[in-house]
Amino acid sequence: MKSLKKTRRIQIISVAAVALALSTALIGYAMRDGINFFRSPSQVVAEPPSPYEVFRIGGLVEPGSIIRGQSDTVVFRVTDGPASVEVHYRGILPDLFSENEGMVGTGRLIDGVFQATEILAKHDETYMPREVMEALKAQGEWHGPDPQSLPEPQS
């Protein structure tokens, strides 16, 4: 009788462990497209990611680099000071998007050009994404307040 209870208990624990491992693997597989790593232009130039990797790039829009095409395609350069990357975006840019202002784009690097699928710009006069501020500060290009002393943005 004791042997049967012990065997049944081991079977239940084994099935639970396999179910837990399987569910963890399925959750990880489902989330793989939702994870986008942030990179500065200097990081992109130093170690270009594969054309299949979706990531976020952020920095300042380089002055004089915005070129609007015949359609809704816009070409511009994003910089963090030492390096800049050309960005192609097809769509409507945010109202606050302008030269020498902070931006974050999501997309892929294809043949040295960042093909953006989404562009985010600052939402008021004092906000810049924390990741962009930290990247600019690391490059010595940030001249505003210390990013660590700023409050978290409200969603």
Q: DSSP per residue over 65-109, as a string?
A: --EE-SSSEEEEEEE-SS-EEEEEEESPPPTT--TTSEEEEEEEE
Q: What are the φ and ψ backbone dihedral angles of 135, each rounded to 5 degrees?
A: -65, -45
Q: Is residue 17 over pLDDT 90?
A: yes
Residues 6 or more apart in contact with residue 53 via CB below 8 angstroms: 108, 109
User: Which pLDDT belongs to residue 88?
Assistant: 94
pLDDT score recorded for residue 21: 96
* H-type alpha helices, the chain: 2-31, 41-46, 130-138
Give the whole-number percent of the chain exceeding pLDDT 70.
82
User: Does residue 36 carry a pLDDT above 80?
Assistant: no
pTM, two decimal places: 0.62
Find tokens 């624990």 and name the residue: 13
Query: Phi/psi of residue 118, each to 5°?
Result: -150, 135
Closest by CA to 116, choosing from 56, 71, 68, is 56
pLDDT in tens, 83-131: 899 999 998 888 888 888 888 999 999 999 999 999 988 655 555 667 7
Question: Among 13-22, 75-84, 110-119, 132-141, where is mean pLDDT lowest?
Answer: 132-141
In the structure, what pLDDT confidence band is assigned to residue 33 with cuts at 50, 70 and 90?
A: low
Q: Are 41 and 78 in contact (CB under 8 A)?
A: yes
Per-residue confidence (pLDDT) for residue 73, from 0 to 100: 87
Among residues 40, 35, 48, which one has the least CA distance to residue 132? 40
